[in-house]
Amino acid sequence: MRTKTIQIGQRLLQALPSVLGIVIISFVLTRALPGDPAVYFAGMMADEQSIAEVRKALGLDRSWIEQFFIYTGNLLSGNLGMSLSTGRPVLVELLTRLPASLELTFAGLGLAILVAVPLGVLAATRPGSWIDHLCRLLVTAGVSLPTFFTGLFLMYLFYYLLGWAPSPLGRIDFLSIPPPHVSGLFLVDSLLDGDLETFWASLKQLILPAATLGLFALAPIARMTRAAMLNALSSDYVRTARANGLARSTVLGTYAFRNAALPVLTTLGMVFSFLLGANVLVEKVFSWPGIGSFAIEALVASDYAAVQGFVLAMALLFVVVNLTIDVLLTVIDPRVALEA
């Protein structure tokens, strides 16, 4: 146990250079963006003197090196700066909006797992069948179709044509009241409050954006599940288990799928990170009040602090997800070392 704790600590230390690199790159790239935030906030009719005063108030009249050390000093104290577009601290904005993004991401990933893993297993056990061709079709569609196109298509079909889905405007319809804040996840908080009406209202709003993300995530998960199962089914230990007369369910579940789950679990970590990035477009299409839509608004306004806070939050989430996957791999298979 002590050895694993040391190894986890080593992984955390190895992640520090990556986080530092993200801080530097995000700082430089945000200042390389076209547009001047001083002009944006001074107004289009402002004169040069007013713009200069705004630039000085924002600290943009200093050199990049001075601005970077001021930013990192504030960062170490937990201050991500003030969002110029909303007038609130960036950390408060991120913590307020993060539950909405996480709820959408978890819903999309969960939907993708429920469809992709059984589909990949069935496709591997029946190569060349119609279900194998269906798996390939869904994988191709998930890879080829952009998330914003999928979202607009689902919205047009189920909301505009069929009228089955509610208006795609946020996390809950205007006739319902958000549940009391506990976790920030509307589905969880409504269940904790015992309010099934709010739960169903939140779930209906979540279905279309989650399906959009789910189709995007389905492709790599189904493809990896199929490939890993085909590799496991052709291995010596599976052939030996079949030769010993073990039941088909035992061979598939205990021997084949358990070994195939390792690369699938690794893929889930990467897919989760990709979904956090794909949230940006999906949230904008469905007016979802998450950190993705906040980042786009900040980018348009050249809001440096907000953009840097968003990039840093995504980088930290990526590090946490990958560390969690490493730990889970050792639980599933002790042969896997954390260094791998």
Enumerate the β-bridge partners of residue 82: 89
269-290 pLDDT, tens digit per residue, is: 788 877 877 788 888 888 888 8
* Residue 3: pLDDT band with limits 50, 70, 90: low
Exposure string for 46-85, b = 16+ CB within 10 A, e = fewer: eeeeebeebbeebebeeeeeebbeebeeebeeeebbbbbb
118-128 pLDDT, tens digit per residue, is: 888 888 888 88
Integer Cα distance of 43 and 265 in angstroms = 50
Check: CB of residue 213 under 8 Å from CB of residue 101.
Answer: no
Check: CB of residue 285 under 8 Å from CB of residue 168.
Answer: yes
pLDDT for 309: 84
* Residue 40: pLDDT band with limits 50, 70, 90: low
pLDDT for 338: 46
Please state which CATH class domain 102-301 belongs to. Answer: mainly alpha
Integer Cα distance of 53 and 185 in angstroms = 42
pLDDT for 340: 46
Question: Please, what is the Cα angle at 151 between 150 and 156, to 5 degrees?
Answer: 100
Instruction: Compute the Cα dihedral for 217, 222, 227, 232 and give only its sign.
Output: positive
Mean pLDDT across 246-266: 79
pLDDT for 8: 63
pLDDT for 174: 77
145-183 pLDDT, tens digit per residue, is: 888 888 888 888 888 888 888 888 888 887 788 888 888
With a cut of 80, say whether residue 225 has pLDDT above it: yes
Integer Cα distance of 293 and 76 in angstroms = 26
Lowest mean pLDDT among 11-15, 100-104, 204-208, 221-225: 11-15
5-28 pLDDT, tens digit per residue, is: 666 666 677 777 877 887 888 777
Instruction: Compute the Cα dihedral for 37, 42, 43, 44 and give only its sign.
Output: negative
289-328 pLDDT, tens digit per residue, is: 888 888 888 877 777 778 888 888 887 787 778 777 777 7
Q: Report domain extents, the chain.
A: 102-301
55-75 pLDDT, tens digit per residue, is: 777 677 777 788 888 878 878
